[in-house]
Chain A
Amino acid sequence: TQLLEQSPQFLSIQEGENLTVYCNSSSVFSSLQWYRQEPGEGPVLLVTVVTGGEVKKLKRLTFQFGDARKDSSLHITAAQPGDTGLYLCAGAVGSWGKLQFGAGTQVVVTP
């Protein structure tokens, strides 16, 4: 059973455009993490959000954690080709226990 619904599944945009990826669940998570994965590599952690309502910014990336700690979003401003990759959200079950992953969003940014 997929606890985390991630949308959209695929996103193709032009360089300079903005994009948002959503991650929703009916379950409450102790924390939620976002990863980016490129072909032939393992997922790389982008951010961990822990507090309901939390907003974190990493350069052009903005992450939000819902007040109820059931949903999250990733917003990229002025996307660049280097942002291309598979974006995965993952919710931690319990205190730093195993992760439940969303289905992933494949993002393609063309020059």
Chain B
Amino acid sequence: SAVISQKPSRDICQRGTSLTIQCQVDSQVTMMFWYRQQPGQSLTLIATANQGSEATYESGFVIDKFPISRPNLTFSTLTVSNMSPEDSSIYLCSGWDNGHYGYTFGSGTRLTVV
């Protein structure tokens, strides 16, 4: 099955700064997804990232706050911009895994904004 390496695994950031989260997949995936999750709770989809086109954002999420890059079929980044304590959460990337007939997730980035 595909493996997604996500980094950083955790970070503590000052409010007003930005953090870029990276996800590297060991195989090509057409679509990648970025989620946000509070510990012990469900996942909320932020956006869908396709190569060569702008990401598609879900209601409540905007590109200026969460810019996404997808330069190729194995890599994507999510930036959390101008952070506030409300952005403290776990951020996860995901991609469709043909071999596993399901979605593979990165291990997540636990972000704390102080």
Contact = CB atoms under 8 A, between A and B. Distances in A.
Contacts of A106: 40
Interface size, A (range): 20 to 34
Interface in B59-108: 92, 94, 96-97, 100-108
A25 to B, nearest CB: 14
Interface in A66-111: 86, 88, 90, 96-99, 101-104, 106
Contacts of A103: 41-42
B108 A98 contact: no
Contacts, number: 55
A104 B45 contact: no
A2 B45 CA distance: 12
A84 to B, nearest CB: 12
A11 interface: no
A8 B110 CA distance: 26
A98 B46 CA distance: 11
A99 B42 contact: no
Interface size, B (range): 20 to 34
A43 B95 CA distance: 12
A45 interface: yes
Contacts of A96: 96
B100 to A, nearest CB: 6
B48 interface: yes
B48 A98 contact: yes
Contacts of A99: 33, 43, 45, 103
Contacts of B43: 43, 88, 99, 101
Interface of A: 2, 33, 35, 39-45, 47-48, 86, 88, 90, 96-99, 101-104, 106
